[in-house]
Amino acid sequence: MVGVGGVNLTAVTEVLGKVLVVDDDEVIRQLIAVNLTLEGFQVETATDGQDCLDRVLDVMPDVVTLDVMMPRLDGWVTASRLRTDEDTKHIRVVLITARAQGDDRRRGLGIGVDAYLTKPFDPAELIQVVRDLAVSERSN
């Protein structure tokens, strides 16, 4: 317990889950990371799909938030590889993209992503989706 100005504050001791935030846009990546960190998640970041795949086994997140349009390796291919790898197929995946067409949503669901959010997204909705997925991941 820490005292600040006569008020006792208790540190958060239970992390809600671990999230790997993947986006090539630094501003969006940091926006997502800060919102999730403030909510109580342990957050790591990656700059694109290849960076995600290179780091995912070290991070072992409960949830990956994944942009679709990225250099080197896009979100479609990254999500597919996460789903087909025995070591990562259990990780919950949230696609966050400006691609809002029905075909894009169906493609994401066909790959097996757990949620699909479109940019601009509501941070509160993102937090709720990630929270729900992290809880369901930890209960499995």
List, for residues 12-29, the tens digit of each pLDDT value: 446 789 999 999 999 999
- The model scores a pTM over 0.75: yes
Rounded average pLDDT over 90-106: 85
Determine whether 25 is exposed, middle or buried from the number of CB atoms within 10 Å of its CB (0-12, 13-18, 19+).
middle
Give me the pLDDT at residue 29, please.
Answer: 95
Work out the mean pLDDT of the chain and round it to a whole number: 87
Chain center to CA of 91: 10
In 3D, which of 106, 25, 39, 3 has the Cα closest to residue 63?
39
Do 22 and 95 contact (CB within 8 A), yes or no?
A: no
Above 70 in pLDDT, residue 64? yes
Q: Which residues neighbour 47 within 8 Å (Cβ) at sequence distance 6 or greater? A: 22, 23, 24, 29
Q: pLDDT category, 40, cuts 50, 70, 90?
A: very high
Residue that wins the pLDDT comparison between 23 and 100: 23
Query: Which DSSP string corresponds to 82-96?
Result: HHHSTTTTTSEEEEE
31 close to 57: Cβ distance less than 8 angstroms: no
pLDDT of residue 33 exceeding 80, the answer is yes
Which structural domains are found in the chain, ordered by start? 15-138 (3.40.50.2300)
pLDDT band at 79 (very low <50, low <70, confident <90, very high): very high
Task: Return the DSSP state at 105.
Answer: H
